Amino acid sequence: MMASVRVGSNAGSVRSVLIALAWAAALIRHEGHAMSGMEDEERGAVERRGTHFVVQGRPFLVHGFNTYWLMVFAADPATRCKVSDVFKDAAAAGLTVCRTWAFNDGGWRALQISPFVYDEEVFKGLDFVVSEARTHGMRLMLSFCNNWEDYGGKAQYVRWGQEAGLDLSGDDDFFSDPTVKSYYKAFAKTVITRVNTFTNVAYKDDPTIMAWELINEPRCPSDPSGDTLQAWFEEMAAYVKSIDPTHLLEIGVEGFYGPSTPERLQLNPYTCAGDAGTDFVRNHQVAGVDFASVHVYSDTWLPDPDPDAHLQFVRAWMHQHMDDAEKLLGMPVVFGEFGVSVKDERFDSRFRETFMETVYDTLLSSRRDVGGGCLVWQLFPEGTEHMDDGYAVVLAESPSTLQMLSQHSRSLQTHHSKGSCGSSEPHEEL
């Protein structure tokens, strides 16, 4: 017993030294990176040029992360420092794109208390997120709503409609009822036209924001034909672009293939994924949509316990979507969420790193003429582990993951210095 304790203590000391060394090296890189990030922000917004992203003509690849709770933490002075911490950690690892929620519908610390009624203090929290992102050289992808009940989502909109006397039969009425859609439009417009209380810049004019996302992981199983969701995408994409024609727009789907491409249904991770009401190719042909969205969660999609089967799926899933983005859609593709839960008894942190490396290697090894990138789910700073659902990556506690992320950032620089985006100009560092 005592021997095992002493071994653990020595291992802990070695681990602390490794972390300190990795962190110090990363912070040295970050000092110059943060300033270059601010300068990049001043140069202009991220734009789409064919199948690639550019910033003032220079190639831009997404190397990023998700941290969904930034706004609610920023709304409380006692936890606001965690927002700064996660941006510092991310910048030290070479990450410069963050996807986060710009919504919280009903309930605790809600941004949208009820239709057309918003909490100014929570909005100031979102203002802080945008301002702090810019300080650390980050770009933001901001989502307007959730398909799931976390943070309210479409279910909360339907409850509001029912409370107002609407005859609604289920959560999928969110996508079709005119009144409920008016709630969503009003909220989206309020966010887009918001003037930041920290920077005095309207969100729609702020290049810190890379893109808007219509909804996180939308599904409409009540209409497996996909027509209901397609109509909603068309309506909402046109509406958002009518208010903000400058920023990029994406729809937030997981990438399931649907009825428009029956030959690809077999590529879905499970049979009923084709009945989710989404349709990867058709959905991304909507006018106003600038880049494709795909998520990668083999741990929840596949029952197979064999790690190799999961990695094979990841490669095939990514290659097919990159191929379709280039040849059928003519747009970049962003793998907006990918990760592995270490609370799943089939996997551990070592496999999670192998999974992440597979995603990064697949992106870099592709010879397709398509840009984009990926965002890991999810990055947490120290002191927030109580919220970990198994997917949290705490870089201060994982020097090997920090090293991997930093290496991918360097690989992206090398990749683009060779002119892989059709340009020999220096690229914006990610």
Active site residues per annotation: 217, 337
Distance CA 240, CA 168 (A): 25
Other CB atoms within 10 Å distance of the CB of residue 164: 13
- Cβ atoms of 309 and 302 within 8 Å: the answer is yes
* Helices 399-417 and 2-43, axial angle in degrees (round to 10): 30
221 token code pair = 């199983």
- Amino acid of residue 63: H
Other CB atoms within 10 Å distance of the CB of residue 407: 14
Q: Give CA separation, 328 vs 51, 201, 268, 292, 295, in Å.
A: 11, 37, 18, 11, 19
Distance CA 351, CA 307 (A): 8
b/e map 184-214, b = 16+ CB within 10 Å: bbebbbebbebebeebebebbebbbbbbbbb
CA angle 210, 71, 373 (to 5 degrees): 30
DSSP 54-100: EETTEEE-EEEEE-TTHHHHHTSTTTTHHHHHHHHHHHHTT--EEEE
Other CB atoms within 10 Å distance of the CB of residue 308: 8
The residues pairing with 139 across neighbouring beta strands, listed in sequence order, are 97
SS3 212: strand
303 token code pair = 């029952």
- Cβ atoms of 229 and 218 within 8 Å: the answer is yes
Residue labelled with tokens 């599904």: 219
DSSP 120-134: HHHHHHHHHHHHHHH
Quote the distance between the C-alpha of residue 150 and its chain's center: 16
Distance CA 5, CA 61 (A): 46
